[in-house]
Amino acid sequence: MRKISFMVVDDSTIWQKLIKNFIEKHRGWKVIAIASDGKEAVEKYKKYSPDIVTMDVEMPFMDGITAVKNILQYDKNAYIIMVSSKGEEDIIRKALLMGAKDYIIKNSDFVKWEKRFQDNLDCYIKNKRNNFINNLIKNILFIIKKSIKL
Protein backbone atom coordinates (compact mmCIF):
# COMPACT_ATOMS: atom_id res chain seq x y z
CA MET A 1 0.00 0.00 0.00
CA ARG A 2 1.32 3.44 -0.89
CA LYS A 3 2.03 6.03 1.78
CA ILE A 4 -0.83 8.31 2.74
CA SER A 5 -0.07 11.90 1.66
CA PHE A 6 -0.77 14.93 3.85
CA MET A 7 -0.94 18.68 3.55
CA VAL A 8 -0.27 20.65 6.75
CA VAL A 9 -2.00 24.04 7.00
CA ASP A 10 -1.00 26.35 9.85
CA ASP A 11 0.21 29.95 10.03
CA SER A 12 2.74 29.05 12.74
CA THR A 13 6.00 27.66 11.34
CA ILE A 14 6.60 25.96 14.70
CA TRP A 15 3.29 24.08 14.46
CA GLN A 16 3.93 23.29 10.79
CA LYS A 17 7.19 21.60 11.79
CA LEU A 18 5.69 19.85 14.82
CA ILE A 19 2.78 18.41 12.85
CA LYS A 20 5.00 17.49 9.88
CA ASN A 21 7.52 15.75 12.16
CA PHE A 22 4.72 13.94 13.98
CA ILE A 23 3.23 12.69 10.71
CA GLU A 24 6.50 11.65 9.07
CA LYS A 25 8.59 10.40 12.00
CA HIS A 26 5.99 8.63 14.07
CA ARG A 27 4.00 7.05 11.28
CA GLY A 28 6.18 7.20 8.19
CA TRP A 29 3.47 8.99 6.25
CA LYS A 30 4.35 11.70 3.73
CA VAL A 31 3.73 15.47 3.91
CA ILE A 32 3.60 16.67 0.29
CA ALA A 33 2.59 20.29 0.92
CA ILE A 34 2.56 22.94 3.62
CA ALA A 35 0.43 26.09 3.57
CA SER A 36 0.45 29.12 5.87
CA ASP A 37 -3.11 30.34 5.36
CA GLY A 38 -6.46 29.17 4.05
CA LYS A 39 -6.10 30.81 0.63
CA GLU A 40 -2.77 29.09 0.05
CA ALA A 41 -4.28 25.82 1.34
CA VAL A 42 -7.03 25.87 -1.30
CA GLU A 43 -4.49 26.57 -4.07
CA LYS A 44 -2.11 23.84 -2.90
CA TYR A 45 -4.93 21.34 -2.41
CA LYS A 46 -5.88 21.80 -6.07
CA LYS A 47 -2.25 21.44 -7.14
CA TYR A 48 -1.15 18.47 -4.98
CA SER A 49 -4.39 16.59 -4.11
CA PRO A 50 -3.22 15.25 -0.73
CA ASP A 51 -5.09 12.34 0.82
CA ILE A 52 -5.50 14.09 4.18
CA VAL A 53 -5.29 17.75 5.21
CA THR A 54 -4.57 19.04 8.71
CA MET A 55 -6.09 22.52 8.99
CA ASP A 56 -5.68 25.24 11.62
CA VAL A 57 -8.69 27.48 12.32
CA GLU A 58 -7.31 30.99 12.82
CA MET A 59 -5.06 32.14 9.98
CA PRO A 60 -4.56 35.32 7.94
CA PHE A 61 -6.19 35.95 4.53
CA MET A 62 -8.65 33.05 4.90
CA ASP A 63 -9.54 31.15 8.06
CA GLY A 64 -9.50 27.36 8.20
CA ILE A 65 -13.27 26.90 8.26
CA THR A 66 -13.67 28.93 5.06
CA ALA A 67 -10.79 26.98 3.51
CA VAL A 68 -12.57 23.71 4.42
CA LYS A 69 -15.69 24.97 2.65
CA ASN A 70 -13.73 25.96 -0.46
CA ILE A 71 -11.77 22.71 -0.63
CA LEU A 72 -14.94 20.64 -0.22
CA GLN A 73 -16.61 22.64 -3.00
CA TYR A 74 -13.68 21.64 -5.21
CA ASP A 75 -13.50 18.02 -3.94
CA LYS A 76 -16.46 16.73 -1.95
CA ASN A 77 -14.38 13.72 -0.85
CA ALA A 78 -11.54 15.74 0.71
CA TYR A 79 -10.50 14.38 4.12
CA ILE A 80 -9.77 17.34 6.39
CA ILE A 81 -8.82 17.19 10.06
CA MET A 82 -8.93 20.42 12.02
CA VAL A 83 -5.89 20.83 14.29
CA SER A 84 -6.26 23.97 16.37
CA SER A 85 -5.61 25.52 19.75
CA LYS A 86 -9.22 26.80 19.65
CA GLY A 87 -11.38 24.33 21.51
CA GLU A 88 -14.62 26.26 21.91
CA GLU A 89 -17.66 24.11 21.27
CA ASP A 90 -19.20 26.47 18.70
CA ILE A 91 -15.99 26.54 16.61
CA ILE A 92 -15.67 22.76 16.74
CA ARG A 93 -19.33 22.31 15.77
CA LYS A 94 -19.02 24.81 12.89
CA ALA A 95 -15.92 23.05 11.52
CA LEU A 96 -17.54 19.62 11.68
CA LEU A 97 -20.80 20.88 10.15
CA MET A 98 -18.78 22.50 7.36
CA GLY A 99 -17.36 19.05 6.54
CA ALA A 100 -14.18 18.53 8.55
CA LYS A 101 -13.83 14.85 9.53
CA ASP A 102 -12.38 15.49 13.00
CA TYR A 103 -11.16 18.23 15.30
CA ILE A 104 -7.98 17.72 17.31
CA ILE A 105 -6.95 20.31 19.89
CA LYS A 106 -3.25 21.20 19.74
CA ASN A 107 -2.65 20.94 23.46
CA SER A 108 -3.64 17.26 23.54
CA ASP A 109 -0.91 14.98 24.84
CA PHE A 110 1.12 12.84 22.44
CA VAL A 111 -0.76 9.60 23.18
CA LYS A 112 -4.08 11.30 22.39
CA TRP A 113 -2.65 12.86 19.21
CA GLU A 114 -1.33 9.52 18.04
CA LYS A 115 -4.62 7.74 18.75
CA ARG A 116 -6.71 10.39 17.00
CA PHE A 117 -4.45 10.42 13.92
CA GLN A 118 -4.47 6.62 13.76
CA ASP A 119 -8.27 6.60 14.12
CA ASN A 120 -8.52 9.07 11.26
CA LEU A 121 -6.14 7.06 9.08
CA ASP A 122 -8.12 3.89 9.78
CA CYS A 123 -11.34 5.72 8.85
CA TYR A 124 -9.75 7.11 5.67
CA ILE A 125 -8.48 3.67 4.61
CA LYS A 126 -11.83 2.03 5.40
CA ASN A 127 -13.69 4.63 3.31
CA LYS A 128 -11.27 4.18 0.39
CA ARG A 129 -11.65 0.37 0.59
CA ASN A 130 -15.46 0.63 0.73
CA ASN A 131 -15.52 3.00 -2.25
CA PHE A 132 -13.31 0.61 -4.23
CA ILE A 133 -15.56 -2.36 -3.38
CA ASN A 134 -18.73 -0.39 -4.19
CA ASN A 135 -17.33 0.67 -7.57
CA LEU A 136 -16.23 -2.89 -8.31
CA ILE A 137 -19.73 -4.20 -7.52
CA LYS A 138 -21.33 -1.50 -9.70
CA ASN A 139 -19.04 -2.45 -12.60
CA ILE A 140 -19.79 -6.16 -12.21
CA LEU A 141 -23.55 -5.49 -12.10
CA PHE A 142 -23.26 -3.28 -15.19
CA ILE A 143 -21.45 -6.06 -17.07
CA ILE A 144 -24.03 -8.65 -15.96
CA LYS A 145 -26.96 -6.44 -17.01
CA LYS A 146 -25.30 -5.72 -20.33
CA SER A 147 -24.65 -9.42 -21.00
CA ILE A 148 -28.26 -10.35 -20.12
CA LYS A 149 -29.62 -7.82 -22.64
CA LEU A 150 -27.49 -9.29 -25.46
pTM of the model: 0.78
Percent of the chain, pLDDT > 90? 29
Q: Where are the beta strands (DSSP E) in the chain?
A: 5-9, 30-35, 52-55, 79-84, 102-105
Burial class (CB in 10 A: 0-12, 13-18, 19+), 19: buried
The string of pLDDT tens digits covering residues 95-145 is: 888 888 888 887 767 677 778 777 877 777 777 766 667 666 766 776 776
CB 9 within 8 A of CB 66: no
Domains and CATH numbers, the chain: 5-149 (3.40.50.2300)
Q: Around 8, how many Cα atoms within 13 Å sit in the side-chain half-sphere?
A: 20
